[in-house]
Amino acid sequence: MSSEPLPAWWQPLLTRVRSARTADFTRVATPARGGRPSAVLVLLGEHRPGEPDVLLLQRAATMRNHAGQPAFPGGAADPGDRDARATALREAEEEVGLDPGSVTVLAQLPRLWIPVSGFVVTPVLGWWHRPHPVHPRQPEEVAHVTRLPVDELVDPDNRLQVRHPSGWVSPAFQVRGMLVWGFTAGVLSALLDMAGWAGAWPTGRIIDLPPEPSPGGDPSAAGLPDTLGDRAGGDAATVDGSAGLPG
């Protein structure tokens, strides 16, 4: 836990997430019981003073599901995890070498259900008070780690929607050579709105989702599937995915 005061940009987001509901992220209701507990770490830092960014990883091209897609660090809970916070921090340490002591956990977002697999995912919101170099620790699953500046995510030129072959339409970001979509984009889109950072963007700009790379690797490495309804006017989304809620 950092003793330093939080940057001023945190306060509007924290105020809003205290009253956040599942419906702010998805139209899919979370069941009161059941589901396999899982968590992802939504880690915000600063690449320059007063300018926040978010840590994302990119899945390896050899993954059987959602190969090459950006994602939050995260995955399914282990029996030894005390709570969602412990799961998210453990997964981030295992995947990208994140020091848990460099993170101040500030909030847990509503639990989000992924019907196709039965996972119940808790996004954990953290302040990266002491950033340090990170890198893929599991090359068979993680190809790349990056920090995406919020000002690039909210740039209207980098925002769009994607249409899945099944027909659903969902928010997306096209930034620094990556297409961020699905669960990750849905959570990011909601948080950008809650923080007051997002402005008008071209919801009519829709592209068809590119086909995934040829599957490969160990199918047992596949973890969490991806689902979030489009909060910008599209249809509810449910699509299979891979470990750590990619896309």
Element (H, E) at 189: helix 182-195
What are the tens digits of pLDDT across the range 101-117? Answer: 999 999 999 999 877 77
Which residues, 6 or more positions from 202, have their beta carbon under 8 angstroms from its beta carbon? 156, 159, 160
**Are the CB atoms for 48 and 226 separated by under 8 Å?**
no
User: How does DSSP assign 15-72, residue by residue?
Assistant: HHHTT--GGGT-SSPPPSS-SEEEEEEEEEEEEETTEEEEEEEEE-TT-SSSTT-EE-
**Average confidence score pLDDT of the chain:** 84
Per-residue pLDDT averaged across 184-213, rounded?
90
Sign of CA dihedral 229, 230, 231, 233: negative
Under DSSP, the state recorded for 246 is B
Q: What pLDDT was estimated at residue 141?
A: 86
Q: What pLDDT was estimated at residue 238?
A: 27
Q: Is the pLDDT of residue 196 over 50?
A: yes
Q: What pLDDT was estimated at residue 39?
A: 97
Q: What pLDDT was estimated at residue 212?
A: 55
108 vs 126: CA distance, rounded Å: 9
Pick the more confident residue, 87 or 139: 87
Q: What pLDDT was estimated at residue 63?
A: 64
Q: What pLDDT was estimated at residue 66?
A: 59
**Are the CB atoms for 97 and 134 separated by under 8 Å?**
yes
How many beta carbons lie within 10 A of that of residue 142, not counting itself? 22
Percent of the chain at pLDDT > 90 equals 64
Q: What pLDDT was estimated at residue 211?
A: 63
**Number of residues that this document lists for the chain:** 247
Q: Is 112 helix (H, G, I), strand (E, B) or coil?
A: strand
Q: Is the pLDDT of residue 215 over 60?
A: no
201 vs 203: CA distance, rounded Å: 6
What are the tens digits of pLDDT across the range 50-107? Answer: 999 999 999 887 666 556 789 999 999 999 999 999 999 999 999 999 999 999 999 9
Q: Are strands 159-163 and 206-208 parallel, antiparallel or unpaired?
A: parallel
Our CA angle for 168, 27, 63, nearest 5°, is 55
Element (H, E) at 183: helix 182-195
Q: Is the pLDDT of residue 204 over 60?
A: yes
What are the tens digits of pLDDT across the range 21-33? Answer: 999 998 888 888 8
Which residues, 6 or more positions from 119, have their beta carbon under 8 angstroms from its beta carbon? 35, 36, 38, 76, 113, 224, 225
